[in-house]
Structure 1
Amino acid sequence: MFIRTESFSQYIRQYPVVSTLIALNVVIYLLSLLPFIGDPIRNFGVGSNYMIAQGEYWRLVTPMFLHAGIMHLLFNMFSLFIFGPELEKVAGKARFLTVYFLAGIFGDIATFFVYDSSYLHVGASGAIFGIFGAFGALVYYTKKMLPQLRQIILPIIVLSVVMTFIGPNINAAAHIAGLVVGFLIGLSIFHPKRIISWRKPKLKVVQKR
C-alpha cells in the first residue's frame, strides 16, 4: 500500500496535491538558502510565539513550509512522499488538503499555547502527523476489513509518538495536536455513512419529448 512504484511523471499526474506540496517545500527551502532573500523568507515565515501574540497570525501557517535544515526537510518530505498519496487517493484532493492544513494550523496553535513567547519553530511535521491521524481513523473503521493497514499504520503512529518525546528539539505540541486533529477529521471523512454517500451512483435525468 505504501510502496511507491510509480514513475516520476505518473506520481505527479496521479497525486497532484502531494506533488505540489512537496515542490513548494523544496523550492521554499532552496530559496531560503540564497543570499539577500533567504533571511527575509525565514524571518517572515518562522513560527514565533512572540510575533503571533503581536498579531502576526500568518505565522500559524507559514512554518509548515519552512525547515531547519536539509535532513529536517528530507525526513518530512519523505514521509509526505510515502504516506500522502494513499490519503489523497482514498479521501480525495479537497479532503486531503483539509486534513493537511488543519492539522498543521492546529499544531501551530497548540505550540503557541504550550510554549513560552520565546519559542521559535518551523516544519511540516504537524501536518504529517495529521496524515497519520487520518489513517488512524480509517483503521478504526476498517480494522476487520483491512487488517494489513492496521498492521502498518499503528506501529508507525506509536513509533512516531515515542520518537517525538525522546528526540531532541522536537515540537511535541505540534506533533500530538496534528495527530489528534487528523484523527478527528478522519472520523468524519471515513464515517461509513459518508463513504456510502460517495459511492452512490448518480442518476441521470432523461427528459422525455
Structure 2
Amino acid sequence: MLPDEPARPQSEGTAELPGCYRHPERETGVGCSRCGRPICPDCMVSASVGFHCPECVRGEAAEHRPARTRFGGLPTADGALVTKVLIGLNLLVFLVTEYLSPKWGVRLAMLSGTSFGGVPVRYGVAQGPEEWYRLFTAVFVHSGPFHILMNMISLWVLGPQLERVLGRGRYLALYLLSGLAGNAFAYLVTGGNVFSVGASGAIFGLLGATAVLFRVTRTPLGPVIALLVFNLVITFSVSAIDWRAHVGGLVAGAVTGAGLMYAPRGRRNLVQGLTLAGVLAVVVLMVVVESALLGA
C-alpha cells in the first residue's frame, strides 16, 4: 500500500472476539443462552437451546428442589416399605422369643421394680439407664400368636397410609415414639410392678395420628372414631391388656401427628423437629421421675 493510499476498513469477520468470562485469554463467539455471558468450549454446558454457563446451571439446579409429600417427606415407589420392615422385625422377634429362645422374651420385655416383704427391689427399667433399652425392645415382643396377629393386622391397615403422606423417616419416628411413650407412661403409672410387651402402644399412636390426618384432610372422622372407641372398650374390658401403654401411645401419636401435619410450610422442618424432640423429652422425663421415686 502506498503511503498516500487511504487505509482499508477491516471486514467484520476479522473483528476481535470477546474473551470467555471465566477465561478472558480465550476468545469465543458463543454466549450463554440464559445470561448472555461469553463462554469458551470448556465452560459450555449443553442445554435444550444453545449452551449455558456453569453459574446458570448451578442456579437452575438449586431452583429445582426434589418433590415432597404434603407433610415434607420424600415420595417413594413403595409407600409401605417401612411398614413391611416393621412387620418383619416383629415376626422375627416373636419367632425368637416364642420358639427358639423364650428366655429372650424376659430379657427384652418391659419390666420394672417391685417390692418383696416391704423391701423395695429394683430391676428392669427401674434399675436405671443401663436397662432403659427395655422401653424400646418391648415394643417388638408379643405374648402369643393372637397378640401379634392382631397387632400386625392393625399395623398393615394403619401404617401404609401414614407412611405415604409423612415419608419414611417421619413415619418411623412416629411409630417408635408412640411405642416408647406408651411403655414410659405404663412405667410412670404402675412403677413398682409392671410387665408389658407388644406393639399396641405404637399401634394406638398410629391410630391417633390417623385421626389427625383425617382432620387435616377433612375426611369424615366417623370410621376412625368408631375404631378408636372399639379398641378402647376392649382395652379397658380385658384385664390382661395394659391400658396405660395404649393410652400413652394414643396421646403421643396424636400429639406427634399434629406437630408433623400442622407444621407451617415455611418452618416445617423446625416445627417437626421440635415436636419429635419434645415428645422424646417427655418420655425421658417420665422414666427419670419414676426411677427416682422408686429409688427413694
Separation in structure 1 between the aligned mates of residue 244 and residue 268 of structure 2, nearest angstrom? 35
Separation in structure 1 between the aligned mates of residue 182 and residue 208 of structure 2, nearest angstrom? 13
Q: Corresponding residue for 1:188?
A: 259
- Residue 154 of structure 1 deviates from its aligned partner by 1.4
- Residue 192 of structure 1 deviates from its aligned partner by 6.3
Q: Corresponding residue for 2:223?
A: 152
What amino acid is the match of 2:102? Answer: G
Change (3 A) 1:70 1:195: farther
Deviation track 1:113-137 (CA, whole Å, cap 9, x = no partner) reads 1114222110000000000111111
Which secondary structure does the structure 1 equivalent of 2:163 belong to? Answer: helix
- Residue 141 of structure 1 deviates from its aligned partner by 2.5
Q: Corresponding residue for 1:90?
A: 165
Comparing both chains, which one has the higher relative contact order based on Cα–Cα distances under 8 Å and sequence gaps of 6 or more? 1
* Aligned with 2:185 (options 84, 91, 110): 110
- Residue 28 of structure 1 deviates from its aligned partner by 0.9
Deviation track 1:156-177 (CA, whole Å, cap 9, x = no partner) reads 1121112211123111111011
* Aligned with 2:203 (options 120, 124, 128): 128
What amino acid is the match of 1:141? Answer: V
**Root-mean-square deviation over aligned CA pairs:** 2.0
Q: Could you list the runs of 4 or more consecutive aligned residues of structure 1 that deviate by over 6 angstroms after TM superposition?
A: 195-198
Change (3 A) 1:89 1:196: farther
Normalised to the residue count of structure 2, the TM-score between the two structures is 0.58
User: Which deviates more from structure 2 when the two are superposed, residues 158-167 or residues 23-32?
Assistant: 158-167
Query: As a proportion of its length, which structure holds more helix?
Result: 1
Mapped contact 2:79–2:163 kept (Cα < 8 A): no
Mapped contact 1:48–1:117 kept (Cα < 8 A): no
What amino acid is the match of 1:88? Answer: E
Change (3 A) 1:14 1:121: same
Matched, 1:172 2:243: yes
What amino acid is the match of 2:249? Answer: G
Deviation track 1:76-130 (CA, whole Å, cap 9, x = no partner) reads 0010011111010111111111110111001111011111422211000000000
Matched, 1:32 2:97: yes
Q: Corresponding residue for 2:35?
A: none
Mapped contact 1:141–1:192 kept (Cα < 8 A): no
Separation in structure 1 between the aligned mates of residue 147 and residue 265 of structure 2, nearest angstrom? 36
What amino acid is the match of 2:127? Answer: Q
Separation in structure 2 between the aligned mates of residue 25 and residue 94 of structure 1, nearest angstrom? 19
Matched, 1:48 2:121: no
Q: Trace 1:6-21 onto structure 2 (pairs within 5 A).
A: 13-21=78-86
Change (3 A) 1:24 1:17: same
Structure 2 unaligned residues grouped into runs of 5+:
1-76, 114-123, 270-296
Mapped contact 2:235–2:243 kept (Cα < 8 A): yes
Change (3 A) 1:187 1:195: farther
Separation in structure 1 between the aligned mates of residue 105 and residue 268 of structure 2, nearest angstrom? 44
Which secondary structure does the structure 1 equivalent of 2:133 belong to? Answer: helix
Separation in structure 1 between the aligned mates of residue 135 and residue 263 of structure 2, nearest angstrom? 32
Q: Trace 1:72-91 onto structure 2 (pairs within 5 A).
A: 72-91=147-166
What amino acid is the match of 2:106? Answer: N
Normalised to the residue count of structure 1, the TM-score between the two structures is 0.80
Which secondary structure does the structure 1 equivalent of 2:216 belong to? Answer: helix
What amino acid is the match of 2:149? Answer: L
Deviation track 1:16-65 (CA, whole Å, cap 9, x = no partner) reads 10000000000111111335x331x1121011012111021001111100
Q: How many residue pairs are counted as aligned between the two chains?
A: 181
User: Which deviates more from structure 2 when the two are superposed, residues 46-55 or residues 67-76?
Assistant: 46-55
Change (3 A) 1:42 1:195: farther
Separation in structure 2 between the aligned mates of residue 27 and residue 94 of structure 1, nearest angstrom? 22
Which secondary structure does the structure 1 equivalent of 2:99 belong to? Answer: coil
Structure 1 unaligned residues grouped into runs of 5+:
1-11, 199-209
